[in-house]
Amino acid sequence: MRIPKRLLLLGAAGALAARRALRAPYDLTGKAVLITGGSRGLGLALAQEFLARGARVTLMARTEADLKRAQAGLKAGERVSIVTGNVAVPADAARAVQATVQAHGRLDVLVNNAGIIQLGPVANATEEDFRTAMEVNAFGPLRLIRAALPHLRGGGRVLIVSSLGGKVAIPHLTPYVMSKFASAGLGQALRAELAPEGVAVTTVLPGLMRTGSPLNAPVKGQPRKEYALFATLAASPLVSLDAHEAARRVVNALVRGDVEAMIGGPALILRTAQALAPQLTADLLRLGHRALPGPGPSDAMVEGRAVESALTRANPIKRSAEEEFNQRGAHGHAPGGDLN
């Protein structure tokens, strides 16, 4: 069947108009933004960045004390509201959207930031570890997007915070990697499917950031060794990005309407290497895996803070990030997605 040339031209013009609308710079002034995992880490840095650009924000997290401390620290009055909830619980997703609309009269931007990272060899990971990661890191964004979509149609934005681990399979992060590959795929698929409804979806893929989050990360295998390595790397300016700079780049990607954005130089280098030379990159990751601690005798999981050494505890960059990004008040959380 031949398609009339006029119809083809109209279709092309419509597609171009939609592309321009989704790529047009997005003014955040007065916009209402819901940030999951917003009480600490990258979520808190993103809240600061959105507020600086004139937006109003609602922070969602599981622990009220963390939320209240974050709200007080932001010093933005009624421009900041809070709602407790777990992205792994469907009813909490709907409640967070409703709370945002109630507080600000609208919802324009959904930031899916809540996430959980589990450290340790796959030999010590259980099926439940994989399910937990998927519930928070993959199904969490899906639940929030579905709940928020009625408010976002016709000009809203969705941000999915995936990870370098959503493009490159980093050893000793296997449940996390599996879930972040899923979230990156979700973002790519929804970018196409929600475009006709006027919703632009941006997926960002950060590498290591100095947010202080290792303190609260679940660790398995040989926990003390695993934590010491991860906490040291995450605090090193050589391989990790300042959290405020990361937040600035993330929000810039949203404002530009980017499809995807790698956040951080080392992350971009590793992703590019994998795309251009996948076999070589896989060989290098295999060699890197050999230098990591081996499996432990137990599958028990502990928080990073429980296995701190005097050396990691004394790291001034690490401690500064933990204090600035509200990590030290988060003791005793069950897995549920506030670790970015």
Catalytic residue flag (residue 176): yes
Q: Which residues contact 213 (CB under 8 A, 6 or more apart)?
A: 40, 41, 42, 117, 234, 325, 327, 339, 340
Q: Which of 50, 139, 176, 181 is catalytic?
A: 176
Among 137, 107, 109, residue whose Cα is nearest residue 37: 137
Q: Residue 30 — left, alpha, or beta (φ > 0 → left; ψ -120 to 50 → alpha)?
A: left
**Residue 200 DSSP symbol:** E
Strands, E assignment, 147-212: 157-161, 200-206, 209-210
**96/85 Cα distance (integer angstroms):** 7
Contact 296, 221 (CB under 8 A): yes
Active site residues per annotation: 176
